[in-house]
Structure 1
Amino acid sequence: MSVLCCNDNGWVIDHQQIVRQWYNNCKIPKSSLLSDTNSLDTKVNKDDIPNAEERKMSNSEKLTTALQLKSDLFAIKSPYMMDSQFMKLQKTLETDYIPSTTSRKRKKKADKIDEDCVDYTVIKRLSDAHRSLISLAQEKGYLLNKYENIDNNKSAREASQIVGPGDSLIDIVETSSTDIVETSSTGKGETSSTYDNIKPPLVIEHAQDEVNIHINQLVHFNCDLPTVTQIFGEKYLLPVNSRFLLSDWSKLLQTDITDGNGFDLIVIDPPWKNKSVKRKKSYNTVWEDTLLDLPIYQLMNNGGLVVIWVTNKPKLHSFIKETLLPSWKLKFCVEWHWLKVTTNGELICDINTTMKKPYETLIIAQYINNIDNCLPSLPNQQVIISIPCSLHSKKPPLLEIMKPFLVENPKCLELFARNLQPHWTSWGNEVLKHQHLDYYEVT
């Protein structure tokens, strides 16, 4: 089970375990396991792979094995620190010198919280939920891993710096979107031009060594096992019964991704504009008003839920509740929080800080075009606790938590996705990024 424990405050979940369950029996080309450059080598005993001549198989024949996201991506051993803070801590440990804290004025500003403000209410609630849920998890034997040698999460930080072919997907999409295709003559000695047309859907029924997909083409991967296959000359891991559309914004608005049936759950993680993303240039961002063009209500089944990941910027919360949700014809339901912890249950940073927060917000809304809706109502102010993946802005999967509030076998969609999920439809201009084999290892 990926839900480690739960109580009235929320859930403690294991993000890594969820993904491990998805890929515990994958079809992989033998050539992927024997490659000198592939990261899977480090955990595969090549003596366990039968000789090709003995089995009369080619390098393209598929073996089965279990994969998982690299363990180091979840090696969050201690609360986050800036390099300068870590160096100061090292000096303390080496010399027993206790460095001075920040100035009294700054400390007062960071630590003092007005008990009448909204922040105090949220922090108090999250702190209580943290104590309650972590205590329960540790009673059950989870989140007990303590590390004597603090290295400022060096292995997790290094693992998150993977730079590979998946990072070029956005360039491929943008290039495709600006390619001009000449059409027939207008009859006046001139030629007209249009952008690349939407491609008809591609249905893949059997595991293949290579799949030729197009940008702006909805792909149905209907195979019975997760499969490593080659796309654009690179190896990607495709989960069972996944559907995806790799395209830019305009093509999403032009493509029917519903297959005639609406969705029961839509998860949206927009690339909100903020100073951190602008500084790091982590990904392309969108203006808030651009989201108003999304035809969300046209994609929904009656009673369907929409989960929006949002930063802790108050103005953004107001925009979503007062402008965005009404434009999508959705009714605001509840607000939940994701609380990030280390491998021994500590918060990844001080919850009272005025800078980086150890939590993110989920705003959940519902589409109701018929009052006859018997789905269970959502509990308010719930908290999801997990060890975060060190990849930038990678959120934990939510389906297992959301299932009690959805119809049986819900149809699910993720927008602005950078990875796939089994039985889900996913859209994004980097939708395959974290499916690249570089991010996985053999369990």
Structure 2
Amino acid sequence: MKYQIIYADPPWTYRDSANSGKRGAKHKYPVMKLEDLKRLPVWELADEQCLLAMWHVPTMPMEAKELCEAWGFRLMTMKGFTWHKYHAKSGKDCMGMGHLTRGNSEDMLFGVKGKLLERLDARIIQSVSAPRGEHSEKPAVFRELLTQMVGDLPRIELFARKGVPGWDAWGNECDSDIELIPATFVKRTKEKAA
């Protein structure tokens, strides 16, 4: 099966471990180093024409670009979507961790393989306000916006927590028929002529 939409929320290893209060990602779920993420053969899931919609860590833009390219995509924009977070009960802005400013948003980059998919709905805007859920949980509205934007195409969510109707899923917290086995690379050395 090949997909035309790949939606991913990689379990990034953050530079800031946030050990006080065990607030960092590594205290909530297993994280992966960039080199290990790059070895996942996402390129084998991508159709000839495919959109990668990938959440990335604000302090690691170069690593996000590198992962996008390692998976076989060219970067289109670092700000495909920006999620402005607020508390569901109070409606007040969230105030997370951050560097200099406190974080209350997350960004999704868009990468493209092949020809850019046709945009079906030009009314979709970049910034979306939605309530924060469990740690690292992303609002369902982003899956809906992706299909509204480019259509009801074959699609998969990587690093998913649970299956969602209409989407194939792969992740350590959900049942899946899909297996992503890390590719291995071996550096060959040239033999010296005698």
Q: Please give the range of the TM-score, normalised by the shorter of the 2 chains.
A: 0.7 to 0.9
Q: Percent identity?
A: 22
From 371, 375, 399, the equivalent of 2:143 is 399
From 40, 45, 49, the equivalent of 1:299 is 45
1:347 aligns with 2:89: no
Other structure's SS at 1:400 match:
helix
Q: Structure 1 residues 366 and 270 mapped into 2: Cα distance closer, same or farther (>3 Å)?
A: same
Q: How does 1:223-242 map to 2 (within 5 A)?
A: none
Shift of 1:277: 7.5
Partners of 1:330 and 1:366 within 8 A in 2: yes
Shift of 1:298: 2.0
Q: Structure 1 residues 292 and 347 mapped into 2: Cα distance closer, same or farther (>3 Å)?
A: same
Other structure's SS at 2:32 match:
coil
Other structure's SS at 2:138 match:
coil
Shift of 1:422: 0.6
CA separation in 2, counterparts of 1:264 and 1:272?
24
1:273 aligns with 2:13: yes
Stretches of structure 1 lacking an aligned partner (at least 5 in a row): 1-257, 433-443
From 319, 329, 340, the equivalent of 2:72 is 329
Q: Structure 1 residues 420 and 350 mapped into 2: Cα distance closer, same or farther (>3 Å)?
A: closer
Partners of 1:330 and 1:365 within 8 A in 2: yes
Partners of 1:304 and 1:406 within 8 A in 2: no
1:286 aligns with 2:32: yes
When the two chains are superposed, the root-mean-square deviation of aligned CA atoms in Å is 2.9
1:309 aligns with 2:55: yes
Instruction: For 1:276, give the aligned amino acid.
Output: A
Alignment-derived partner of residue 4 in structure 2: 264
- CA deviations 1:393-425 (Å, max 9, x no partner) are 111122221123324x21111111111101211
Other structure's SS at 1:348 match:
coil
CA separation in 2, counterparts of 1:350 and 1:295?
32
Alignment-derived partner of residue 362 in structure 1: 108
Q: How does 1:124-163 map to 2 (within 5 A)?
A: none
CA separation in 2, counterparts of 1:265 and 1:365?
10
Q: How does 1:375-390 map to 2 (within 5 A)?
A: 375-376=118-119, 382-389=126-133
Higher percent of residues as helix: 1
Stretches of structure 2 lacking an aligned partner (at least 5 in a row): 176-194
Instruction: For 2:137, give the aligned amino acid.
Output: K
Partners of 1:277 and 1:283 within 8 A in 2: no
CA separation in 1, counterparts of 2:174 and 2:75?
28
- CA deviations 1:174-195 (Å, max 9, x no partner) are xxxxxxxxxxxxxxxxxxxxxx
Partners of 1:309 and 1:360 within 8 A in 2: yes
Q: Structure 1 residues 307 and 374 mapped into 2: Cα distance closer, same or farther (>3 Å)?
A: closer
TM-score by length of 1: 0.34
Computing the radius of gyration from Cα coordinates, the structure with the larger value is: 1
CA separation in 2, counterparts of 1:378 and 1:277?
43
CA separation in 1, counterparts of 2:160 and 2:103?
23
Instruction: For 1:358, give the aligned amino acid.
Output: N
Partners of 2:4 and 2:155 within 8 A in 1: yes
Q: Structure 1 residues 285 and 352 mapped into 2: Cα distance closer, same or farther (>3 Å)?
A: closer
Q: Structure 1 residues 300 and 374 mapped into 2: Cα distance closer, same or farther (>3 Å)?
A: closer
**How many aligned residue pairs are there?**
164
